[in-house]
A and B are shown apart, each in its own frame.
Chain A
């Protein structure tokens, strides 16, 4: 499973009414890599995640995970294929406890999960002490981690994180970066949508810059800042 291509996005088109949010976008994400999806507001980054997760239907194009075509499957079916996604706005179930949230993230009854799995995940996201607190009572940063824990619990092949450090303090940001680095595994691909370039530099192996629904640049982080078109899009206007 390790190495090789995990997720292929092929000729994706998405329209909202007359507005074309994603325009013939093609991407290939490999196992073992952390891929950052960056670009200005409205570039279509979140839309791509929504389409992969099955929330937004595509007008044209295909999404393939390993050899399985995900196009047209429901959100739940896609999730069960091993795709998990963290939303931009932290969305945890506030009236359930932290432990129950993680348990829901397993997607199978806790009794059938590997023993100690919930505790492992709780420890991984640093919420072991708060396991019986109601999720609604957590601080913003803790909610972000809980949500990462929820999407992590089922050991997904594809992990999509939409702005995981938005609204976090510097210290929380550092811990989140460390967490994501720790999550990198040969049999997992991680996609991060983020505005914070410093954060992206810390975690990403490879960067895809989107602009107006298309790929503007793709390559290692080190070369992004030298790319003339990227500079123009980010700074030139």
Chain B
């Protein structure tokens, strides 16, 4: 526990999250904190989890995935399927997409999804499986760097094309929406929103602590070593394939958890979460916050999305220009993201680790 909270900014972030969770639990949905705000905070927490998942492999292992939206979407889609199936069994409401396709029955692969533990297992299992297969074939043949980034982007793009088809049984173009129940609670009610937001923040805290333990362990040192000089590490007798594969799958699973928490809060999922742009934006969050630094990933996700929430409403035309300008600024002037901007005096070791990140 001592090393875990040795870094003061990390401890502060955990404390802040805990306070946020308690405040929402106590006063969420009241006049102090509107349900809309609670919902927004809950969604931001899931984005933060997503950013941490990418930081784990990009910041600490040097592998940039431009397809992390795929794992987020797998979690989200399975969650949506569970919600629809469960709502159907309780209320008898037939999902829109099935009415649209003229289907009377759920496709075969929807079987059992009304059972939440099974759905959770399925979401994480499918994610781990996809990540494992893709990671294995890539890392085995030493595909990395820009190649890996581009192929992962192609993967998410192809998945998007597949999901846009209406005959796949996943809602097609319109996606899936109209959940009447969220894990047994009435959707959209303040209580439900508060519950989801609190759960999301608690999961964020758990993910942060877990990742922190990981990156400060011997495995964490091996990750950094593999990031900075993989050939050297291999020549010392370490097989990097399984190290990379394990962290890659872990990262994918965390992204899927973010997706599972995200969908019940926004109440919809459609193929647009699979667009390459979204996956690139995740990388932007991490770059803005500072790679190789878990606190940075969370701050980046919060900062960019807060800006986006605000600007999308205030000046939607301007947002893309702001975003592109922001990226160029970060990349050219503040390569370590907000850490540079804040000019904070982190431990020299951290600064060096950031400078070494590719």
Asked whether the complex places CB atoms of A and B closer than 8 A, the reply is: yes
Interface string of B337-358 (1 = CB under 8 A from A): 0000000000011001100100
Q: Is the CB of B232 within 8 A of A134?
A: no
For A76, give its contact among B221, B237, B352 (CB under 8 Å).
B237
Residues of B within 8 A of A87 (CB): 231-232, 235
Which residues of A lie under 8 Å from residue B231 when comparing CB positions? 55, 75, 87, 91
- Chain A contacts with B in 166-214, Cβ cutoff 8 A: none
A84 contacts B by Cβ under 8 Å: yes
User: Could you tell me the distance in whole angstroms from the C-beta of A105 to the nearest C-beta in chain B?
Assistant: 6
Select one of B229, B239, B349, B353 contacting A74, CB under 8 A: B239
Looking at A4-12, A92-100, A113-121, the stretch in contact with chain B turns out to be A92-100
Do residues B356 and A136 form an inter-chain contact, with CB atoms below 8 A? yes
Residue of A nearest to B232 (CB): A91
CA distance A122 to B240 in the complex (A): 26
Question: By the criterion CB–CB under 8 Å, are B237 and A96 in contact?
Answer: no
Q: SS class of chain B's interface: helix, strand, loop or mixed? A: helix
Decide if B238 is an interface residue (CB 8 Å cutoff).
yes
Q: Which of B212-238 contact A (CB under 8 A)?
A: 218, 221-222, 224-225, 228-229, 231-238
Residues from 303 to 351 in B contacting A, C-beta threshold 8 Å: 348-349
The one of B221, B234, B237, B348 that contacts A134, using a Cβ cutoff of 8 Å:
B348
Whether B352 contacts A134 by the Cβ 8 Å rule is: yes
Query: Is the Cβ of A95 less than 8 Å from the Cβ of B353?
Result: yes
Minimum distance in angstroms from A96 CB to a CB of chain B: 6
Type the 1/0 row for B84-117, where 1 means its CB is closer than 8 Å to any CB of A: 0000000000000000000000000000000000
- Taken together as a complex, chains A and B put the C-alpha atoms of A79 and B231 apart, in Å, by 12
Measured CA separation A96–B223 after assembly (Å): 11
- A215 contacts partner chain B, Cβ-Cβ < 8 Å: no
List A residues 58-117 near B (Cβ within 8 Å).
74-77, 79-80, 84-85, 87, 91-97, 100, 103-105, 107, 109-110
A79 touches B237 (CB 8 A): yes
Smallest beta-carbon distance B36→chain A, Å: 43
Q: A76-B240, A134-B352 are in contact. Are A93 and B224 (CB under 8 A)?
A: yes
B356 CB contacts on chain A under 8 angstroms: 94-95, 136
B232 cross-chain contacts in A, Cβ below 8 A:
87, 91-93
- Interface assignment of A46: CB less than 8 Å from any CB of chain B: no
* Residues of B with C-beta under 8 A to A84: 235-236
Q: Which of A79, A80, A95, A110 contacts B349 (CB 8 A)?
A: A95
Contact A53 B233 (CB under 8 A): no
Question: What residues of chain B lie closer than 8 Å to A53, measured between beta carbons?
Answer: 235
Chain B residue with Cβ nearest A75: B234
How many of chain B's residues touch chain A, expressed as a range? 20 to 34
Q: Does A127 contact B (CB under 8 A)?
A: no
Let me know if A37 is at the binding interface, CB within 8 A: no
Q: Check A95 against B352 for contact (C-beta < 8 Å).
A: yes
CB–CB A151/B236 < 8 A: yes
How far is it, in angstroms, between the C-alpha of A94 and the C-alpha of B231 when the chains are bound? Answer: 14
- Which residues of chain B from 179 to 238 have any CB-CB distance to chain A below 8 Å in the complex? 218, 221-222, 224-225, 228-229, 231-238
Q: At the interface, yes or no: A165 with Cβ under 8 Å from chain B?
A: no
Question: In whole angstroms, what is the CA distance A9 to B356 when docked?
Answer: 37
Distance between Cα atoms of A158 and B349 in the complex (Å): 33
Establish whether residues A80 and B234, one from each chain, have CB atoms under 8 Å apart when the complex forms: no
Q: Indicate whether A104 sits within 8 Å of B228 (C-beta atoms), given known contacts A95-B352, A96-B221, A136-B356.
A: no
Interface check A47, CB cutoff 8 A: no
Known contacts A95-B349, A136-B352: does B234 contact A76 (CB below 8 Å)? yes
User: Residues 147-159 of chain B: 1 if any A CB is under 8 Å from the residue's CB, otherwise 0?
Assistant: 0000000000000
Inter-subunit contact A104/B236 (CB<8 Å)? yes
- Name the B residues within 8 Å of A154 (CB-CB): 236-237
Q: Is the CB of B352 within 8 A of A94?
A: yes
Judging by beta carbons under 8 Å apart, are B235 and A85 in contact?
Answer: yes
B238 and A107 contact, CB distance less than 8 A: yes
Contact across chains for B349 and A104 when beta carbons are under 8 A apart: no
B contact residues around A85 at 8 Å (CB): 235
Q: Contact check: which of B229, B235, B353 meets A79 at CB < 8 Å?
A: B235
User: Does A150 sit at the interface, judged by CB under 8 A?
Assistant: yes
A93, B357: Cα distance in complex, Å: 12
Instruction: Give 12 A-B pairs besides A93-B221, A100-B221, A104-B238 with Cβ atoms closer than 8 angstroms.
Output: A79-B234, A79-B235, A84-B236, A87-B235, A92-B232, A93-B232, A95-B352, A103-B221, A104-B222, A107-B236, A107-B238, A136-B356
Going nearest first, the 6 A-B pairs with the smallest beta carbon separation are A79-B237, A107-B237, A75-B234, A76-B239, A95-B353, A80-B237
